[in-house]
Amino acid sequence: MSLEEAPGSLESDVTSMRFEDTELTLGLPGEGRSPAVIAGVKCSAKRGFVETVDLKLGSCSRAPSGGGDTHVNEAGAGKPPPAKAQVIGWPPVRSSRKKAINESCKYVKVAVDGAPYLRKVNLGVYSNYHDLMKHLENLFTCCIIRKADREESKVMDAVKGMEYVPTYEDKDGDWMLVGDVPWKMFIESCKRIRLMKSSEAAVLAPKASLKCSGTC
């Protein structure tokens, strides 16, 4: 029910509402209702959306990437996007389900110094650091090989002979060395991962010897 000011739309009843804020453009800008419908009397009740913003029960750490905000969150017809207003109760999914999905959804970005792009991994699918590091090795196979026998959290670049040290940004915004805290605690606090070139990391923690236990 877009409130775009299409010609012939009969929204005079609801002029008191501020379209910019309540505009529920359910589709990409420009995609409006079919003309047949707009011509019909549509004094649709938008009151429900006016100031009722859905309780965000903690959005998934998958930040909406460009274009992800297309649907209920966007403004319409050439207007700048308003403050995000979600429709209450839409999509019709129970809050317990929404919460549960969010909790098992721990996607974080992984950056490797020198790699042209970042990757995303879901920390929830790994049981310990060892698991995670193995997978990171797979993600960046072209540039990283891990020294399996040493069970350390250092990764090696077989080609260039460079070493990488895994670091992560925690909830407080600090850059930490991966492996110090128990795995579960790590998942809770990790916001993003960066595989830092050893040369740079050496400055931070020259004697970093990491306990990377096989269990969590």
Which residues of this protein are in contact with other proteins, per CB under 8 A? 1-2, 26-27, 33-34, 36-37, 40-48, 51-52, 54-56, 59-60, 62, 64, 68-73, 86-98, 100-101, 103-105, 122, 124-128, 130-131, 214-215
Give the shortest CB-62-to-other proteins separation in angstroms.
7
Q: Which is nearer to other proteins, 49 or 163 (CB)?
A: 49
Give the shortest CB-113-to-other proteins separation in angstroms.
27
Give the shortest CB-163-to-other proteins separation in angstroms.
24
Query: Whole-angstrom Cα distance, residue 161 to residue 143?
Result: 10
Token look-up 């649907």 returns 71
Q: Which is nearer to other proteins, 52 or 198 (CB)?
A: 52
Cβ pair 50, 21 in contact under 8 A: yes
Q: Which is nearer to other proteins, 8 or 173 (CB)?
A: 8
Q: Which is nearer to other proteins, 95 or 199 (CB)?
A: 95
Give the shortest CB-24-to-other proteins separation in angstroms.
9
Spatial CB neighbours of 20, under 8 Å, sequence gap ≥ 6 = 75, 79, 82
The phi and psi torsions of 150 (rounded to 5 degrees) equal -85, -10
Give the shortest CB-40-to-other proteins separation in angstroms.
4
CA atoms within a 13 Å half-sphere pointing along the CA-CB vector of 216: 14
Q: Which is nearer to other proteins, 123 or 195 (CB)?
A: 123
Q: Which is nearer to other proteins, 50 or 115 (CB)?
A: 50
Give the shortest CB-36-to-other proteins separation in angstroms.
8
